[in-house]
Structure formats: structure tokens, C-alpha cells
């Protein structure tokens, strides 16, 4: 008797692949994810895989899940969201990948797809795999207050300079009035942190992170034009950033001085706005594109040779405006032109013969590679080259210099436990150096490492490389001379203006006298 065919009665859930959004089968993103050959070379370089040891929290595992969503084999489930949001976006996997997978673009696409599915991103609060977590995870972003804060941050604060200024003026008042000291010494901050709010247990870290913002309470716009010191070599546009100009105003001012010291006329358009980097990294791609268009409109008016940025995270997004706007017929070509002009300040200056009028800085510095410079823009040697060009400054080695510090935009605020794990590893290496200064080209890394330095009580200063170059020029007396030249230039300008006025009055009086004499002759 013929045996009955074995029929398996397993049922699989019906999942429809997305019909719109970047994780569809017929997209550019789908082609990018299919470049992955599953070799696993990226796994040892991935910080989240190093901490969790879970394939789904590795680059290869994440790409696998994205492809499964695109093909309708996987839903945009809570697990999927969690694995995507757990990625720090460091792009170390891109550096390791032999197949040229552009993971940064993929993770941004996945997060955009999550936003389109109208699912609120969740924060991993424990550094153990999701499957091993027993209790329901508290989640500030998932609450109504968290959602409102999320919308305020991305839709209202970042795109508007007045609102950003107002928010950060509040922070500066808190820091400068002595309130911060009081809150810390009396334990008030711990009380606030423990209150049963949606941010319970999550307030302390941002408070520590934002330790000392520089600049005025309500900083003026940076000057629209700063003239080159000496002969003008280039006309460059300067991107002042949104949070950068509120928290690290001193770095922006130093950047403009150093550019001017090296023959640049620096244009800082007052109408520029946030570059959209935090939006794009967080899945708010539509808003990011809108900001990109506005910046292109603004900078086009000035016809600059280059567009300079001093923040690694922003720079990597500005260089990808062409990718972000590739499907926009009105902006695709203009975005290409814009992106080709963008240079990180260290990349730009390293390509010049530097003004050599520098004084000595007899100290030891270690350099931390910001992920979006080293992995995102492949800029590693240029900042080191600048530091080495400063007389007296000794550059010492930092182990795992290009390993993420856990900052990653606002990652350290929403995924605090993972952020802290990564900071711990970074600080072990920082503490092992003999450096007095840690230099890094990204404001987020500066805040994160500075917090680590304070937590460990290390006698180290955390700076942007451009601040050291600026200090060297100050020591070399370059700005004093330039000021002198500027004053002489201005006073000779005033003299010329006076001469012109005298000449015009003379001509006017001569003309009136001529009319008078003509009138008398006719009589």
C-alpha cells in the first residue's frame, strides 16, 4: 500500500511587504542590502554585537532583518524596531566590509520605514538580549510625554534657531546661576531623577552630559562675512550648526578665526538652519530632506568655493544631501553640487599649506576618531596631521581610537545603558594614555568623553582639534597683528571716506558758486 504523503500543517503569518517607504523590494535600498554577502567580517567591529553577542544586533543580522521586511517575511515588529534602534550608527561595519555595503544608508532607511509604519521607536534600556528581558521595559519615548517631547525636539526645536536658543538659554541659566551646583550638592537632581515621571531614572545623564555650554545666553548670529587675514585664497561657507552654536560657540568662533588665518573669506549665512543629521539618523527623513533643501537654497546664494563644517556627524549628512535628494527632480543636481563642496574643517585645512605663525603648546594630546569622520567620511590622518603641525604638541596613541564612545547623536540619552557600556570601554583606553588633552572632531563625542573624564576624576581637557590650532595662532601673535592691520585698514578706510566727503562738499560748493556767478553775469 502506497504511503500517504506527509502533510505539514504549520501555518505561517501572512505578512505584506511595505508598499511605500525605503524598505521595499524595488528600491535603491533593496539593491544596497543585497550587496551583503553574509561573510561576517563586520561582526568583530560592531560595538553592539561586542556587548550583546547577538546576531540580530550585528550588522549582518540587521541587514538580514531589513531584507526580510522588504520581502514580506518579517513584520515591523517590536523586536525588529528594537534591533534597529540598538544600532549606534557608527558605521564601523562599513570600514570592515569587503563588499562595500553602505550600512549608514541602510540603517537610516530602516528607521524611516519604522517612522512610516507609525511606530514609536523604543529604547533598549538593558544590555541583555530582548529575549532574555523579563520585566516590561520602561520607555520614556513610548509614553505620551515622550512622544510629545520627541515631536517638539525634531519638529519645532531643531529647525528653529529662536526656539533652540531659548531652550539652551534655560540650560545656561541653570548652569551659571549656581542652580546646577545646588541641585548636585543637595541631591535634588537624584530626587528629580527618581520621581515617577516618564523620564524616571533617565534625567541624570543628560544633566551630566550638558556640563558647561559656552557663549552668551542669547548668542548673536556669527558675522555674515569674516575677511581673510592676508591674501584671500578661498571664499568658504561656514555651517554653524544648531546645537553647536548654542553649546560650543567657542569652537565655532575658533574655526572662523583659523579659516581666516589661512586665507579664507568666511561666509556664515544668517538664514542657514539645522543640517538635518539628527533627523536622518533618527528616521525623521522627510523633515531632514526639508532642512537639506533650505540649506541648499541658502548656500547657493553665496557662490562659495567650499562649504566647511566642524562637526563630524553634521558633515557626514551634508555630504549625503545628494543621496537624500536623489529622487527630487528640483534638487537632485543642486544637492550633488552642494555635497561636493562640503569639507570637514580638518580635511580642508590639511589640504592647504598652513599659515606657520604658530606659538608653542607644550602638552600631550591623544586623538579620538569620531565615527562619522573615520568611518563615515574616511577622514583619519588629516586631524592628526593638523595636531602634529603645532609646535611643541606631542601626539600620543589612543588604543581603539576609532571605537565608538557611545555618544552617537542622542543615542546616549535614549539608550543610556548601552551608551554607558561603550563609554566605559572608551574611558579605559583614555585613562591608559599619558595625554593631558583628548582631541576629537565631533561635539557629541566631546560631551560624552568629557563626562567620562569627570566621572573618573581624570586631569584631562577635552577639546576640538581646531581649538588647539587656534590657541597656537594666538600664542604666535597672529591675531594681534591681524587686528593691528585691521585697525590700520579701518582707519585708512575712514581717512579715505573723509577725503571723499571733503571732495564731494568741495564739488557741491563749487557748483553753487558757479551758479551764483553765472546769475550775476546775466544781470
Where does this chain bind ligand SF4 (CB under 6 A)? 36-42, 45-48, 59-60, 62-63, 87-93, 96-97, 99, 101, 103
- Would you say 237 or 313 has its CB closer to ligand SF4? 313
Spatial distance between the Cα atoms of 160 and 294, rounded to a whole number of angstroms: 12
Question: Do residues 112 and 69 touch, judged by C-beta distance below 8 A?
Answer: no
Smallest gap from Cβ 102 to ligand SF4, in A, equals 10
Smallest gap from Cβ 316 to ligand SF4, in A, equals 12
Smallest gap from Cβ 199 to ligand SF4, in A, equals 25
- Would you say 226 or 415 has its CB closer to ligand SF4? 415
- Would you say 92 or 260 has its CB closer to ligand SF4? 92
- Would you say 37 or 179 has its CB closer to ligand SF4? 37
- Would you say 106 or 393 has its CB closer to ligand SF4? 106
For residue 404, which of 29, 177, 149, 92 has the smallest C-alpha distance? 92
Smallest gap from Cβ 35 to ligand SF4, in A, equals 7
For residue 127, which of 423, 410, 465 has the smallest C-alpha distance? 423
Got the DSSP string for 215-256? Answer: S-SSPPPPPSEEPPSSS--EEEEEE--SSHHHH-HHHHHHHH
- Would you say 21 or 104 has its CB closer to ligand SF4? 104
End-to-end CA distance of the chain: 143
Spatial distance between the Cα atoms of 291 and 303, rounded to a whole number of angstroms: 19
- Would you say 92 or 304 has its CB closer to ligand SF4? 92
- Would you say 48 or 355 has its CB closer to ligand SF4? 48
Got the DSSP string for 314-346? Answer: HHHHHTTHHHHTTT-TTTHHHHHHHHHHEEEHH
Question: Do residues 457 and 218 touch, judged by C-beta distance below 8 A?
Answer: no
What residues are paired with 462 via a beta bridge?
Answer: 438
Spatial distance between the Cα atoms of 313 and 318, rounded to a whole number of angstroms: 9
Smallest gap from Cβ 311 to ligand SF4, in A, equals 18
Smallest gap from Cβ 314 to ligand SF4, in A, equals 18
Spatial distance between the Cα atoms of 212 and 248, rounded to a whole number of angstroms: 9
- Would you say 106 or 140 has its CB closer to ligand SF4? 106
Smallest gap from Cβ 298 to ligand SF4, in A, equals 30
Question: Do residues 458 and 430 touch, judged by C-beta distance below 8 A?
Answer: yes
Smallest gap from Cβ 130 to ligand SF4, in A, equals 16
For residue 451, which of 426, 469, 418, 486 has the smallest C-alpha distance? 426
Spatial distance between the Cα atoms of 128 and 130, rounded to a whole number of angstroms: 6
Residues in Cβ contact with 339 at an 8 Å cutoff, skipping those fewer than 6 apart: 318, 319, 320, 321, 322
Residues in Cβ contact with 371 at an 8 Å cutoff, skipping those fewer than 6 apart: 88, 89, 90, 91, 92, 312, 402, 404, 408, 442
- Would you say 88 or 285 has its CB closer to ligand SF4? 88
Residue recorded with cell 558757479 = 514
Smallest gap from Cβ 183 to ligand SF4, in A, equals 34
Smallest gap from Cβ 468 to ligand SF4, in A, equals 28
Amino acid at each position: 500500500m502506497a504511503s500517504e504523503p506527509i502533510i505539514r500543517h504549520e501555518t505561517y503569518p501572512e505578512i505584506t511587504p511595505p508598499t511605500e517607504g525605503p524598505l521595499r523590494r524595488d528600491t535603491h535600498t533593496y539593491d544596497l542590502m543585497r550587496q551583503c554577502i553574509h561573510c561576517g567580517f563586520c561582526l568583530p567591529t560592531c560595538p553592539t554585537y561586542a556587548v550583546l553577542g547577538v546576531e540580530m544586533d550585528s550588522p549582518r543580522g540587521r541587514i538580514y532583518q531589513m531584507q526580510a521586511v522588504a520581502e514580506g517575511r518579517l513584520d515591523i515588529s517590536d523586536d525588529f524596531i528594537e534591533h534597529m534602534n540598538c544600532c549606534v550608527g557608527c558605521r564601523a561595519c562599513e570600514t570592515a566590509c569587503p563588499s562595500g555595503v553602505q550600512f549608514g544608508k541602510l540603517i537610516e532607511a530602516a528607521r524611516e520605514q519604522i517612522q512610516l509604519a507609525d511606530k514609536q521607536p523604543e529604547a533598549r534600556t538593558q544590555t541583555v538580549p530582548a529575549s532574555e528581558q523579563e520585566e516590561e521595559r520602561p520607555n520614556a519615548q513610548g509614553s505620551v510625554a515622550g512622544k510629545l517631547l520627541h515631536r517638539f525636539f525634531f519638529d519645532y526645536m531643531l529647525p528653529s534657531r529662536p526656539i533652540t536658543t531659548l531652550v539652551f538659554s534655560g540650560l545656561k541659566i541653570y548652569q551659571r546661576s549656581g542652580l546646577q551646583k545646588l541641585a548636585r550638592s543637595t541631591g535634588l537632581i537624584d530626587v528629580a531623577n527618581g520621581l515617577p515621571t516618564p523620564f524616571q531614572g533617565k534625567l541624570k545623564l543628560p544633566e551630566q552630559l550638558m556640563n558647561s555650554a559656552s557663549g552668551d545666553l542669547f548668542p548673536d548670529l556669527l558675522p555674515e562675512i569674516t575677511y581673510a587675514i592676508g591674501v584671500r585664497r578661498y571664499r568658504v561657507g561656514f555651517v554653524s550648526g544648531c546645537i553647536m552654536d548654542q553649546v560650543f560657540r567657542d569652537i565655532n568662533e575658533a574655526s572662523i578665526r583659523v579659516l581666516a588665518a589661512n586665507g579664507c573669506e568666511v561666509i556664515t549665512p544668517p538664514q542657514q538652519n539645522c543640517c538635518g543629521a539628527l533627523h536622518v539618523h533618527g528616521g525623521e527623513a522627510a523633515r531632514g530632506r526639508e532642512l537639506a533643501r533650505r540649506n541648499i537654497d541658502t548656500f547657493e546664494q553665496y557662490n562659495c568655493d567650499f562649504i566647511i563644517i566642524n562637526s563630524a556627524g553634521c558633515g557626514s549628512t551634508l555630504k549625503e544631501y545628494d543621496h537624500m535628494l536623489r529622487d527630487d527632480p528640483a534638487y537632485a543636481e543642486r544637492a550633488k553640487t552642494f555635497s561636493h563642496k562640503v569639507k570637514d574643517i580638518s580635511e580642508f585645512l590639511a589640504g592647504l599649506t598652513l599659515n606657520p605663525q604658530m606659538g608653542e603648546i607644550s602638552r600631550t594630546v591623544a586623538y579620538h576618531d569620531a565615527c562619522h569622520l573615520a568611518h563615515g567620511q574616511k577622514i583619519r590622518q588629516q586631524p592628526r596631521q593638523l595636531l602634529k603641525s603645532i609646535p611643541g604638541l606631542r601626539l600620543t596613541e589612543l588604543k581603539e581610537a576609532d571605537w565608538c564612545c557611545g555618544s552617537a547623536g542622542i543615542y546616549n540619552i535614549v539608550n543610556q545603558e548601552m551608551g554607558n557600556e561603550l563609554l566605559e570601554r572608551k574611558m579605559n583606553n583614555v585613562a591608559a594614555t599619558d595625554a593631558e588633552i583628548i582631541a576629537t572632531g565631533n561635539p557629541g563625542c566631546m560631551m560624552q568623553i568629557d563626562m567620562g573624564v569627570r566621572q573618573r576624576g581624570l586631569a584631562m581637557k577635552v577639546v576640538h582639534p581646531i581649538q588647539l590650532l587656534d590657541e597656537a595662532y594666538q600664542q604666535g601673535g597672529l591675531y594681534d597683528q591681524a587686528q593691528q592691520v585691521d585697525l590700520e585698514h579701518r582707519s585708512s578706510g575712514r581717512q579715505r571716506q573723509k577725503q571723499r566727503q571733503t571732495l564731494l562738499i568741495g564739488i557741491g560748493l563749487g557748483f553753487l558758486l558757479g551758479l551764483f556767478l553765472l546769475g550775476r553775469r546775466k544781470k
